[in-house]
Amino acid sequence: MKIAVIENNKIALKNVENLKLDNRKGALVQVLGCGLCGSDIVKFVHKISKDGTVLGHEIVAKIIEINSDTAFKAGDVIVTSHHIPCGECVYCKHGNVSMCKHFKETNLIPGGFSEYVFLSEEHLKNVAHLKPENLSVTEASFYEPLGCIVRAVKRANLLKDDTTLVIGLGSIGVLTAQALRAYGYKVIGCDLLEERIEFLKSLDIEAYDVRKLPENFRADGIFMTSGADKAIDTALKYVRNGGKILVFSSTPSDLSAYPNNEIYYRELTVLGSYSPSPVDLADSLELLKNGRVKVKGISTEYKFDDIQQAFEDTMSNKVMKAYIKVKSDDDYNVKD
């Protein structure tokens, strides 16, 4: 089978021995496609992942062989995420599931950018769902990234009708703005790039050039989806006293980012949100299924063979979000 691995600062395609289910509990799935996540880019660029790593986790896949107590069967097309919380540790008990040791240890084997993947019984029981019939494979691949956003929205725990500002209108920003609207908040988005501002407007959400935000505008909640250091200044300027800043991206420098006195004197709440729980994921699928979050036009599709190009285009902001068609045959867009 074909896999894509990190090798000498490139993404290289390799042929390796086929995966086997053997007598394990779980499923062998054929990956139809896999979204390229911002976290994959970070792991690649900052060399967090070693050579030989198979990145990718936003998969839509078809079950080929299965040995499971769940109702899934061979032929089912499913969405799944990669990590599963234990539900019992100190982190899980406090709702910080993405800090759970078991959560960090569980994964897709070998990774989403692979023709075949092994899913454990735990994946099938906790985070796998049938692909909704009304979603294309590409649309369904937003299941996991939108799950992360659902988690961020819930963690902010704002009041109904509160005003929110989304800083950064890449794919995550556009999804965040729609999710905030779906949860009943007022939303304004901002970015530096004109086409991104226009894209959000096309979804009937107010959007501004960050340099032209109304001077007196203040938000109850700020959602930071931009990784620029400057985004922190924007957040501090536009959050109202007593408001919340939800951090949902990494920044190049970590040192100047902690504004102690602003947090203290202005009674700000700064919250991080990382990876979703099984409930957040189920809620995400519902938002996609009922069309309250629209993903059409967000991703650009690439053939598996062009995965290096997909990484490059994402890094240079040429595309909002890349989606890798790992399986390339005609029956790609399976409807069942």
Interface residue list for Zn ion (CB under 5 A): 37, 85-86, 89, 92, 100, 145
Closest separation in Å from C-beta 86 to Zn ion: 3
Shortest distance, CB of residue 101 to Zn ion, whole angstroms? 7
Name which of 146 and 158 has its Cβ closer to Zn ion.
146
How far CA 25 is from CA of 20, 22, 85, 130, 232, in Å, comes to 12, 9, 18, 19, 46
**Residue whose CB is less far from Zn ion, 234 or 277:** 277
**Distance of closest approach, residue 147 Cβ to Zn ion, in angstroms:** 9
Residue type, 250: S
- The residue among 59 and 268 lying less far from Zn ion, judged by its C-beta, is 59
Closest to Zn ion by CB, 110 or 145? 145
Least distance between Zn ion and beta carbon 35 (Å)? 7
State which amino acid sits at residue 188: I
Asked if 230 and 207 touch (Cβ cutoff 8 Å), the reply is no
**What is the rounded radius of gyration, in angstroms, for the C-alpha atoms of the chain?**
20
In the complex, minimum distance from the CB of residue 95 to Zn ion, in angstroms, rounded to a whole number: 11
For residue 320, the surrounding DSSP H or E stretch is: none
Work out how close the CB of 253 gets to Zn ion at its nearest, in angstroms, rounded to a whole number: 23
Q: Are 199 and 175 in contact (CB under 8 A)?
A: no
- CA–CA separation, 150 vs 170, rounded Å? 16
Cβ distance to Zn ion smaller for residue 163 or 277 = 277
Strand-strand pairing, 129-130 and 163-167: unpaired
Closer residue to Zn ion, CB minimum distance, 197 or 310: 310
Q: Specify the amino acid at residue 261.
A: N
Q: Give the Cα separation of 107 and 80 in Å (integer).
A: 11
Can you tell me the distance from the alpha carbon of 109 to that of 280, in angstroms, rounded to the nearest whole number? 23
Burial (CB count <10 Å: 0-12, 13-18, 19+), residue 228 = middle
- Whether the CB-CB separation of 288 and 131 falls below 8 Å is answered with no
How do 269-272 and 239-247 pair as beta strands?
Answer: parallel
How far, in Å, CA of 22 to CA of 165, rounded? 50
Distance in Å, CB of 142 to Zn ion, minimum: 10
State the nearest-atom distance from the C-beta of 216 to Zn ion, in Å. Answer: 36
Kindly tell me which of 66 and 137 has the beta carbon lying closer to Zn ion. 137
In terms of CB distance, is 163 or 171 closer to Zn ion?
A: 171
